[in-house]
Amino acid sequence: MFIKQSLNPNSATIYNSNILVVDDTSLNRELVSSYLESEGYTHIEMAEHGQDALDKMENFMPDLIISDLLMPVMGGIEYIKKIKKSDQYRHIPIIVQTALTTNEEKQEAWSSGANDVLSKPIHRLELLSRVKVQLVTMHMIKQLENYYTMAQKDIKQAFTLQKSLLPSVDTIANIEKRYNLQVDYIFEPSRFLSGDMWGLVEIDDTQLGVWICDYSGKGIQAALNTFRIHTLVQEYANSAATPSEMIDLINRRFHEMISVGQFATFLMGIVDIKAKKFRYVGASAPDPIIYFPSKKEFALCDGAGLPLGVTANALYPERQIDAPKGSSIILYSDLLWEPKSLPGVCLLPEYLPAFMDELQGKNLVSTLRTHLDMLGDIKLNDDLTLIEIKL
């Protein structure tokens, strides 16, 4: 959790606030100041008119301004407008105190940027009540802004960590050279953090493991649980003899880690270069596709199975499909199964033939990148992961 304390500012915080009282009548300034001091406010500065207040604000940054309207040199309306136009000062709440009584005159104060309007003569309890409301609100906003800044920083670091867990450019280059194939991918979170993750596992000189997962939900919790799955894959990568054995070990451990109702879709496969096969197990994952660019054809696999984490005793049968030289293995997250999520792209079985026909033998990842660029700043409603392994 980022927020570890109450958002309600304590009394010490409120009473240590800087308050600037602006009025051309010394008696009014002293009266307002005495009311504030009697309540416990200790940091009070006074100014005779708007320009005097602006000059004093260079050394005294107020948390709250209490200002009259009718003043010489610079009146209250002009002063408020200057405050609200200033990047440095516009966040400061302003309480207007005025002898003006018409609704039009009060409306002008509101329109100029005043946060509250008090009619003269000033009543002590009313003044103190309005002051406290403004200061509490102001300090709560400051705290929220601080928490937001901290959260943004932590989320940015978490996303950097998440991206670092994906196969690096150097790792992919080494794998491409070792196995004489090409690996290309797209990884686009819908917001700061993704519930998606994927990876590669070098088994031996002719077998390459590949996996993809999508944790239910979004945000920090989803990212943390994909970190867990990544750790489990690394732990069992060299101890499991088959994809079925590996997913069984991962599922049992993952089931112990998460709460009831949480789950992840997952697919683990082995690209067998020598046998020209793709062996895999699915846990409610989108159906893998074997794509034959030169023939402009494809074969649809079956990614069905119980999601990870639902029960410790799930069974995951191994499936296999031919993956000859020149074909591509396509794995992807379920965003590409939603017809309206990414305009013009859907890999559901009923849409797939038409989409593959439009592809005309082109590389799927590079085509989708171009499509995303053409769509511009589109807001994805889910995380997008697409992996293409060209044999």
Q: For the residues of 201-263, what is the DSSP string, one character each?
A: EE-SSSEEEEEEEEESS-HHHHHHHHHHHHHHHHHHTTT-SSHHHHHHHHHHHHHHHS-TT--
According to DSSP, the β-strands at 289-292 and 297-300 are: antiparallel
Task: Count Cβ neighbours within 10 Å for each residue of 200-238 and write b for 16 or more, e otherwise.
Answer: bbeeeeebbbbbbbbbbebebbbbebbbbbbebbeebbe
Q: Is 270 left (phi over 0), alpha (psi -120 to 50) or beta?
A: beta
Per-residue pLDDT tens over the stretch 129-175? 999 999 988 888 888 777 767 767 777 777 777 788 899 999 999 99
The amino acid at 102: T
Structure tokens at 87: 């990047």
* Low-confidence residues of the chain: pLDDT under 70: 1-12, 101, 148, 151, 191-194, 218-219
Which helix (DSSP H) or strand (DSSP E) does residue 64 occupy?
Answer: strand 64-68
Instruction: Please give the angle made by the CA atoms of 83, 96 and 55, to the nearest 5 degrees.
Output: 40
**Pick from 250, 20, 243: nearest CA to 135:** 20
List, by residue range, all CATH 3.40.50.2300 domains of the chain: 11-154
Strand partners, 196: 214
Q: Say if residues 107 and 67 touch (Cβ distance below 8 Å).
A: no
C-alpha span between 126 and 96 (Å, rounded): 13
User: Given the structure tokens 């500065």, which residue do they identify?
Assistant: 45
Q: In the chain, helix, strand, coil percent, each to 5?
A: 40, 25, 40
Superfamily of domain 11-154 in CATH is: Response regulator (3.40.50.2300)
As a CATH number, domain 165-390 is 3.60.40.10
C-alpha span between 45 and 182 (Å, rounded): 70
List, by residue range, all CATH 3.60.40.10 domains of the chain: 165-390
Which helix (DSSP H) or strand (DSSP E) does residue 132 occupy?
Answer: helix 124-164
pLDDT at 12: 66
Q: Is 284 left (phi over 0), alpha (psi -120 to 50) or beta?
A: left
299 to each of 32, 138, 290, 344, 354, how far by Cα in Å? 81, 61, 5, 21, 14
Q: Which 8-state DSSP code applies to residue 308? A: B
State the pTM of this model. 0.66
Handedness of CA 172, 176, 179, 181 (dihedral sign): positive
C-alpha span between 288 and 283 (Å, rounded): 12
